[in-house]
Homo-oligomer: A and B are copies of this chain.
Amino acid sequence: MDKPIIQSLLDVDFYKDTMGQAIFHRHANVPVKLAFQNRHKHVRLAECIDVAQLRENLEHVRSLRFTRQELHFLMGTFEYNQPMFKLDYIEFLQTLRLPEFHIDMHDGQLVLEFLGEWASVTRWETLALQVVSELYGKHETQDAPRPEGGRRLDEKIKAFKANPSITFSDFGTRRRFSRSWQEYVVGRLAELFPAPSVFVDNEQFRGTSNTLLAMKYGLTPMGTNAHELPMVYSAIYRDEDEKAGRLVSSERVLEDWETEYGLGLSIFLPDTYGSDYFFSKVVPRRMLETWKGSRHDSGSPKEYGDKVIRIYEAAGIDPATKLVVFADGLDVSLINDLERYFRGRIQTTFGIGTNLTNDLGPAALSIVVKPVSANGLPVVKLSDNIAKASGDPAEVDRMKRLAGYSVNFAQACRY
């Protein structure tokens, strides 16, 4: 095998541990199946990557263990409320061995599944994506594309420097061109946008979602939660949902999150079953007032921001005190556009993913790893872009019914 792609269990999105601890404290042993999905079916992925190398790399991930330094880093996270991670979770991580994976091929596509107890299997998500993405990058670029990548990065840096109102973070771990390329990008951003001090936020470059790189480059590890929570909760609390005729499960996600972290990580992710449903039925007014803001991950970003502003105003809350974290298929021109559009109306910050860490010329993949079942029951996501909906059709229909879902927006996923 070449040098293993994954060399540390911290080389994941930080939200794997913020969610990970919340899962560990409540539903550690729920059996959950995650499945890989290539959203661009025209890319016959199984024919583009070396499946033997994929297997070897995933086996290598299973051999990794946390080091004391890594556990100290997590345990020592002081950037949010603190102490944020409890010793029982750190002890759990110390014993963590990732569960087995299943690889197959079907119609030119990769079948890649992970089944295990939720607290353990959850960590596979970004690790598997990182491995597939890097193997694909090798296939795509025999002719080292790094000069073009450097040129494009310089352009972005120039654009961000030109508009100091933009604040942004690296959200590009999962679909990065390669480990070393992400590290190059983050290292360069850390150098060019230095933080005034450890306890003062970087003025423009706010941090990285990659925990290992945050440790290495002295950045804030960025991340809160993801669709995985309401999705799996919808299986765990299926009976309650059906009985109540509404998504009690999604309400529980918010309550459990606040119990776990107070307001330190209080960012809504409203689009799992449609953000209209979320804001009208799931989030109580109290949380609308106390939580810091929300993350936009699907649907029209301008419409989303306008809608959120209206919702805050209708509740008598000043939207200018609230934040929207935009994180859906961003590039520099869209960021500039959104920042100017919302300036003074609501706070914005931007989590740039694939376009930051995999913008070297060749098209990046549009791949995800999502829960497909929990406790043996199917789980799905709808999102504010029906093209992003995923999962068992009957279950999609059940959730549409419960959430009164009626989104018409559909846009092919760029990433």
Chain A positions near chain B (C-beta within 8 angstroms): 66-69, 71-78, 82-83, 87, 90-91, 94-95, 197-199, 214-216, 218-219
Interface of A is mostly: helix
B-side contacts of A82, CB under 8 Å: 75, 83, 87
Q: In the complex where A94-B199, A198-B94, A199-B94 touch, is A71 in contact with B75 (Cβ < 8 A)?
A: no
B-side contacts of A219, CB under 8 Å: 68
Best-surrounded residue of A69, A71, A87 (most CB of chain B within 10 A)? A69
B-side contacts of A218, CB under 8 Å: 67-69
Chain B residue, CB-CB nearest to A93: B198
B-side contacts of A74, CB under 8 Å: 76
What are 17 A-B pairs at a CB distance below 8 A?
Answer: A66-B198, A67-B198, A67-B218, A68-B198, A68-B218, A69-B215, A72-B72, A72-B76, A72-B215, A73-B73, A74-B76, A75-B76, A75-B78, A76-B76, A83-B83, A91-B199, A94-B199
B-side contacts of A68, CB under 8 Å: 198, 214-215, 218-219
Chain B residue, CB-CB nearest to A218: B68
Best-surrounded residue of A83, A91, A95, A214 (most CB of chain B within 10 A)? A83
Q: How long is the Cα–Cα vector from A69 to B212 in the complex, in angstroms?
A: 10
Chain B residue, CB-CB nearest to A76: B76
Q: How long is the Cα–Cα vector from A74 to B72 in the complex, in angstroms?
A: 8
A-B interface, 7 closest residue pairs, ranked by CB to CB distance from nearest: A76-B76, A75-B76, A72-B76, A68-B218, A83-B83, A72-B73, A94-B198
Q: How long is the Cα–Cα vector from A314 to B197 in the complex, in angstroms?
A: 55
B71 close to A76 (CB less than 8 A): yes
B-side contacts of A94, CB under 8 Å: 197-199
A216 close to B90 (CB less than 8 A): no
A71 close to B66 (CB less than 8 A): no
Best-surrounded residue of A67, A72, A214 (most CB of chain B within 10 A)? A72
Chain B residue, CB-CB nearest to A74: B76
CB distance from A24 to the nearest CB of B (A): 16
CB distance from A186 to the nearest CB of B (A): 14
B-side contacts of A215, CB under 8 Å: 68-69, 72
A73 close to B78 (CB less than 8 A): no
Of the residues B78, B91, B95, B199, contact of A72 by C-beta under 8 Å: B78
